[in-house]
Structure 1
């Protein structure tokens, strides 16, 4: 009987997590659509494995001027997008450390990722996908199997 209760509890927790994840994705889509109506959108992220994750969105004009900035930073799926002040009217190509003095370390990393992504896309390049933890584990496992053959 206890095992059934544990399974029911785990299934319920999984369902709640899925629902909250869906709401967060919906919130991201809404924020992205709002920014997209303003201009091109540069997205930067700094995923958090143990610490909080961070996503930044910059609405950018054709000349590279930042029209609006938003950030989402938090540990849980309850994190929401908020306005990120201090970047309006600056050129995304020329952001530097001085422009980010009011930002924490994770936010700076996400902003630098957005700047890098913007520069790559605007020069006609393709952004390389970063390997996930699961993908890295699979590659190591494949190497170990290949060595044994």
Structure 2
């Protein structure tokens, strides 16, 4: 009987997590659509494993000037997008450390990712997909297996 209670609790927690994840994705889509109405959108992210994750959205003009900036930073799925002041009018390609002086370390990293992604796309390249945790573990296991041969 106790196992059924534990299973029901786990199923309930899973469903709540799915619902909250859906709401966060819906919030991201709304913020992206709003930024897309302003101009092209450059996205940068710094996923958090233990610390908070960060996503930045920059609405940019055709020549790379930032028209609007937003950030989402937090540990939980309850994080929402907020305006990111201090970047309007600056060129995304030419952002310097002093332009990000008011930003924390994770936010700076996400901004640098957005700059890098923008430069790659504008030069005609594609953004490389980052390996998942499972894929990295498989690569390490394959490497260890080849060393033993």
Matched residue pairs, number?
A: 149
String of CA shifts for 1:82-139, please: whole Å, max 9, x gaps: 0000000000010010000100000000000000100110011111111121210122
**Structure 1 CA distance, aligned partners of 2:147 and 2:102?**
49
Cα drift, residue 13 of structure 1? 0.2
Which 4+ runs in 1 deviate beyond 4 A? 145-149
Partner of 1:37: 37
**Structure 2 CA distance, aligned partners of 1:123 and 1:35?**
22
String of CA shifts for 1:29-57, please: whole Å, max 9, x gaps: 11001101111000000000000000000
Q: Which runs of 5+ in 1 are unaligned?
A: none
Partner of 1:104: 104
CA-based RMSD: 1.1
Partner of 2:3: 3
Partner of 2:82: 82
Q: Which runs of 5+ in 2 are unaligned?
A: none
1:53 equivalent to 2:58? Answer no
TM-score by length of 2: 0.96
Cα drift, residue 142 of structure 1? 3.1
Partner of 2:113: 113
